[in-house]
Copies of this chain bind each other. A is one copy, B any other.
Amino acid sequence: MTKPNPQTIAAWTSLVTANRVLLDDIEYALKTAGLPKLSWYDALLEIEKAGAAGIRPFDLKERLLLPQYGMSRLLDRMAKAGLVDRQDVEDDGRGQIVRLTQKGRDVRQAMWPVYAATLTRSVERHLSQDEAAELHRLLKKLARTKS
């Protein structure tokens, strides 16, 4: 058995904790403001980035690290809420193209200030810009799927 060194365990533990603390904080702020969950924000942003060309669900799920059925259902809910528009694509009879509606853009814009304010407060109270940059460097290195 491969025994991890203490730094590894400490890093992982603190990663999980930091993630949960900030996430709870952000989710709480969004809910209090009567806005959708953070997972919706990520999806809205990614779809918005795709612009008028739209994006295919299978592509979206890779970017959001969601399982296929999770993506399918998230789009269901967002479509029902009128935030996205799904239409069949003719090159591929199996697939569809997702685009943001105006309401989707509005909701994303409404979420951003709340999200940003909480994030700023949570991070910048504790870390300097340099520290945040260093953290980013290390985390990106950590998460490289292909080593």
A residues bordering B, Cβ < 8 Å? 1-5, 7-12, 14-24, 65, 113, 116-117, 119-127, 129-136, 138-145, 147
Closest to A9 in B: B119
The smallest C-beta distance from A5 to any residue of chain B, in angstroms, reads: 6
Q: Determine the distance from Cα of A1 to Cα of B121 in the docked complex, in whole angstroms.
A: 11
Also in contact, A136 and B10, with CB within 8 A (given A15-B19, A18-B143): yes
Q: Determine the distance from Cα of A20 to Cα of B12 in the docked complex, in whole angstroms.
A: 12
Contact B142 A135 (CB under 8 A): yes
Q: Determine the distance from Cα of A4 to Cα of B116 in the docked complex, in whole angstroms.
A: 6
Contact A19 B16 (CB under 8 A): yes
Contact A144 B129 (CB under 8 A): no
Closest to A25 in B: B145
The smallest C-beta distance from A103 to any residue of chain B, in angstroms, reads: 21
Contact B133 A10 (CB under 8 A): yes
Give chain B residues whose Cβ lies under 8 Å from the Cβ of A18: 15, 139-140, 142-143
Also in contact, A21 and B135, with CB within 8 A (given A2-B116, A8-B124, A124-B8): no
Contact A1 B113 (CB under 8 A): yes
Q: Determine the distance from Cα of A136 to Cα of B65 in the docked complex, in whole angstroms.
A: 24
